Amino acid sequence: MKIRYITATTTLVLLCLLSGPLRAQGGHGDPGIVDKVEQQLRETDDVLQRARNAVRSSNNPIAEQTLVQAIRLQESAWESFAAGSYQTAMFLTRQARERAMSALTVGRQAQQYEGVLQRRLERAADMLDRVRDHLSELKDEPLNAIYENALTNLDRAWEFYRTGQHRPAVKLADQVEKAAEKLLSRRNAELRNRQQFRQRLENMERLLEQAEITTENCESEVAPRLMERAENTVRVAEELGRQDRYLAALQSLRQARQMVLQASRECEGPDQLIRRYERLKKHADELSELLSSGPGATDDPALKLVEQAREQLKIAREQLDQDRLEAASAPLQAAQLALRQAQKHLESR
C-alpha cells in the first residue's frame, strides 16, 4: 500500500508540474508542439482500437482490466489536450499506449492459447467420431461406458471453453484425449486380431488340405484321430471369430495347427514314407498302363499328370535313399496331388 501511495503521489505532483506552465500560457502553445501531441494521441487511439478487437475476442479478464485503465488514461489525455495542457496530455497518452499495448499482447496470447485449446477439443471430437463407428462391432460394455463418459466430458469442456474458463476446459480435454486414445488403441488391436485371424484361418485350411493328402492311407492309428480333433477345433475357432472373440479364436487355431502337424509327423517316419512311396508308385504305374492303352494317349491331360507324379516320385526316391525324410515329404505330396487329379480326369469320362 505504501508503494502505491508514493507512486500515485509522485504522478500527481509530476502532472501538476507539467501542467502548471501550460496553464500559465492560457491554453496557447507552439503550433508544432500542438500538432505533435495530437498526432501522438491519435496514434494511441489506433493502438486502443486494435487492443479492443483483441481483448473482445480473448475473454481474458486481465486484458480487459488493463484495457479499461488504458481507456481512462487516454480520456484524461484528451481532456488535458483540450485544456491546453499539452505536456500532461503527452505524458498521459504515452501511459495509455503502454497499457493498451500490454492489453493487446495479453489478448493476442489469450487468442493463441484459445486457438490451441479449440484445436485440442476438435481433435478429441474427431478421435471419438472414429471410435463411435467401431464400438458396435467390439460389443464391449466397459468400452461403451468409457466412450459415453468421454462424450460427456467433451460437452462440458466445450461449455467451459465458450465461457472463457480455459483451465477446466484443458483438464477435461486432456481426459477426453486419453480416453479416446485408449478406445482407438483397443479398436486397432481388435482390427489387427481380426485380420490376423482371417489370415491364419486361410493358412489353416490350406494346411488341413495338405495334411489330408499326407495322412491319406497312413497306417498310423493316431493320425486320423488327430485330424478329426483338428477339424473340430477349427470349427470352434470359426464360431469364436463370428462372435468377434478373436484372441480365443487364434488360440484355437494354434491348437488345431499343433494337432495337424503331429498327425503329419505320425505319417512321415522312415517306414511310413517308404510305404507311402511304394503305394503311390504302384498307383502311378497302374494309371499309366491304363491311360497309355487308350486312344490319343499322348495328348491325354490325365496321362500328363501321371508323368508329373512319376517325376516327383523319382525325386522322393532319391531323397529317401539319402535318409533325407523332410526333403522327401514334399515331392511325395506333390505326386499324390497329381495322381488324385489324374484319377478325377479319368472318372469324369
Summarised one tens digit per residue, pLDDT across range 92-121 is 999 999 998 888 877 776 666 677 778 888
The domain in which residue 339 lies consists of 270-347
260 and 319 belong to one structural domain: no
> What is the percent of the chain with per-residue pLDDT over 70, rounded to a whole number?
85
156 and 210 belong to one structural domain: no
Rounded Cα gap, residues 230 and 177, in angstroms: 44
Long-range CB contact pairs, 217-224, < 8 A, 24+ = 217/276, 217/279, 218/266, 218/267, 218/272, 218/276, 219/272, 219/275, 220/263, 220/266, 220/267, 220/272, 222/262, 222/263, 222/266, 223/263, 223/264, 223/266, 223/267, 224/263
148 and 63 belong to one structural domain: no
239 and 262 belong to one structural domain: yes
Question: What pLDDT was estimated at residue 259?
Answer: 93
Higher pLDDT, 62 or 98: 98
Question: What pLDDT was estimated at residue 138?
Answer: 57
What number of residues does the chain have?
349
Question: What pLDDT was estimated at residue 236?
Answer: 95
Instruction: Tell me the pLDDT tens digit for each residue of 131-168.
Output: 777 776 556 677 788 888 989 999 998 898 887 777 78
Higher pLDDT, 300 or 89: 89
Q: Please say which residue of 190, 212, 242 terminates a domain.
A: 190
Q: Is the pTM of this model over 0.75?
A: no
CB atoms within 10 A of CB 1: 5
- Summarize the confidence of residues 311-320 as an average pLDDT: 88
Question: What pLDDT was estimated at residue 201?
Answer: 94
| Residue located via cell numbers 476438435 | 122
Q: Please say which residue of 62, 79, 111 terminates a domain.
A: 111
Question: What pLDDT was estimated at residue 255?
Answer: 95
11 and 86 belong to one structural domain: yes
Question: What pLDDT was estimated at residue 265?
Answer: 80
Q: In this model, does residue 1 exceed pLDDT 60?
A: no
40 and 91 belong to one structural domain: yes
Question: What pLDDT was estimated at residue 83?
Answer: 92
Cell output for 3? 508503494
196 and 249 belong to one structural domain: yes
261 and 280 belong to one structural domain: no
Q: In this model, does residue 228 exceed pLDDT 90?
A: yes
Confidence of residue 76 (pLDDT cuts 50, 70, 90): very high
Question: What pLDDT was estimated at residue 280?
Answer: 86
97 and 12 belong to one structural domain: yes
How many domains is the chain built from?
Answer: 4
Instruction: Tell me the pLDDT tens digit for each residue of 170-199.
Output: 888 888 888 888 888 887 888 888 899 999
Instruction: Tell me the pLDDT tens digit for each residue of 236-249.
Output: 999 999 988 889 99
Q: Please say which residue of 78, 96, 111 terminates a domain.
A: 111
181 and 199 belong to one structural domain: no
Rounded Cα gap, residues 82 and 245, in angstroms: 84
Rounded Cα gap, residues 103 and 72, in angstroms: 14
CA angle, 152 then 153 then 159, to 5°: 95
Residues 73/41, Cβ–Cβ less than 8 Å: no
299 and 339 belong to one structural domain: yes
93 and 175 belong to one structural domain: no
Q: In this model, does residue 284 exceed pLDDT 60?
A: yes
Q: In this model, does residue 5 exceed pLDDT 50?
A: no
Q: What is the mean pLDDT of the chain?
A: 81
Question: What pLDDT was estimated at residue 15?
Answer: 43
